[in-house]
Amino acid sequence: MNNIEKALELKTDLDSLKPLSKEDELRIMQKFRLDWNYHSNHLEGNSLTYGETKALILFGITAQGKPLKDHFEISGHDEAVKWVLDIIKQDRPLTENFIRELHKLILKEPYEVDAIAPDGTPTKKRIEIGKYKSSPNHVKTKNGEIFRFANPEETPALMRDLMDWYREKIDKTDFNPVLVASEFHYKFIRVHPFDDGNGRTARILMNFILLRYGFPPVIIKTEDKMNYFSVLRQADAGILEPFIEYIGKNLVHSLEIMIKGARGENIEDPDDIDKEISLLEQKLKSISQPIDISKNKESILNIFDNSIVPLTIVFMDKGEKFEKFYIKNRFYLRVNNGSNTSNKDRALEIARKNIRDDTDSIKPEFKYIAFNQKGFQESNHNSWIEFKFDYTKYQVFGYNNQLHFEKAYNENLTEEEIIRIVNSEIKRHKIQIEKQIEEIRKPK
């Protein structure tokens, strides 16, 4: 089954769960709205993090040190998304005027950017909103070649052609909304009708079509940027199927999220600590069947290579984000509570050499020393995750001996379990700092 077929099948499953409760619908659409705003802007170079995007959209809090333009991009895009969600309820048709209104909302106000004049000299270019381009917006590829979009003179006719194509498609009784939305996205990008904001506009228009026909929006994640651009380049070469399949794949993910939400299940992505996910403590009890693998050097090495190493890499990556808040920082990978090394580069190598049959515990640990923010009391923080090895099973603990998992030696942690364990510990550190912030903010 290809992704388009799978999406249509999941759409049938979703329809069987409708109507959604108001609470579930609001919960699902807020997630989509936040993800949509963050990723679509971040794909185009916006510097706001997910947390900063969420703070701006939900609470109106701006990020210090970030460009004002980046805030305008997020707030404008969010206004456009909310407008589209409202337009869906009104059953308003997609027209050129609709597209120009949408573009005005996304960019908010005209602005100037650096440009190169035809004679090669630096100049300024005014970016208009809601108006088709008045000068070429071709781009230079990595190979130094010029990739040409439609010229300003031909843009109005090409946009009329695009709308005629769209109306012809949706007038057919057996049309496939996923195929139409995907192809509309690419055809719009190929024209590139505006001075700026074409990518964001294309993705909103694609999602407008999907939403209009009962599908959730497609979210192109910023970490998948290279794959997105790769299938666009293939489409530029006349091979459109990979792009359509790519959109289908991401739509399948959105449908799976929406189906979970419709069933009242957790819909948060487990790999993003900024999303304030509710991490559920899970415990896997030892199975009642005879234990085939018991504790020895070989079984511990298996857990080390396939569970501890990937967990430690994720833990180091996320834990390092707090180091800038402290005067000194140390990382250890302790075997039997020994202090092997604070050298992150060699920690895994050295720890592996110290594993024996009688190894009882392995613990990656951060020591953060002296909180370095003005106005705060000096404080330290320890952050760790500990693997303890018994004769028939191993256990994974967090702070204050919180048990995350208990498994047999033939069971490694899954990628999702690793993310949940690490995020639980990282979030504990985040909450501690937030409590200090609240204390500072209290009226004296």
How much of the chain exceeds pLDDT 70, in percent? Answer: 90
Residue type for 36, please? W
Q: Assess whether pLDDT exceeds 50 at residue 419.
A: yes
Cβ-based neighbour number of residue 158 at 10 Å? 19
Structure tokens at 402: 């919180």
Cis check: omega of the bond before 19, within 30 degrees of 0 = yes
CB 5 within 8 A of CB 251: no
Q: What is the pLDDT of residue 141?
A: 59
Between the CA of residue 396 and those of 27, 82, 190, 306, what are the distances in Å? 32, 43, 51, 14
Distance CA 97, CA 54 (A): 30
Q: Do the Cβ atoms of 301 and 399 come closer than 8 Å?
A: no
CATH number of 3-267: 1.10.3290.10
Amino acid 270: pLDDT: 56
- Picking from 76, 99, 72, the residue whose alpha carbon sits closest to that of residue 87 is 99
pLDDT tens for each residue of 251-304 = 999 999 999 999 998 887 655 444 443 222 222 233 344 445 678 999 999 999
Pairwise CA distance, residues 153 & 289, whole Å: 75
Determine the Cα–Cα distance for residues 342 and 367; give it in Å rounded to an integer.
Answer: 10
Contact 107, 101 (CB under 8 A): no
Q: What is the pLDDT of residues 168-224, one digit of tens each?
A: 999 998 899 999 999 999 999 999 999 999 999 999 999 999 999 999 999 999 999
Is the model's pLDDT at 232 over the cut of 80?
Answer: yes
Percent of the chain as helix, strand, coil, to the nearest 5: 55, 10, 35
Instruction: State the pTM of this model.
Output: 0.61
Other beta carbons within 10 angstroms of residue 98's beta carbon come to 16
Q: What is the pLDDT of residue 119?
A: 64
- DSSP-derived 3-state class of residue 114: strand
DSSP string covering 147-206: EP---TTTHHHHHHHHHHHHHHHHTSTT--HHHHHHHHHHHHHHH--SSS-HHHHHHHHH
Domain boundaries, the chain: 3-267, 297-441
Q: What pLDDT is stored for residue 286 in this prediction? A: 31
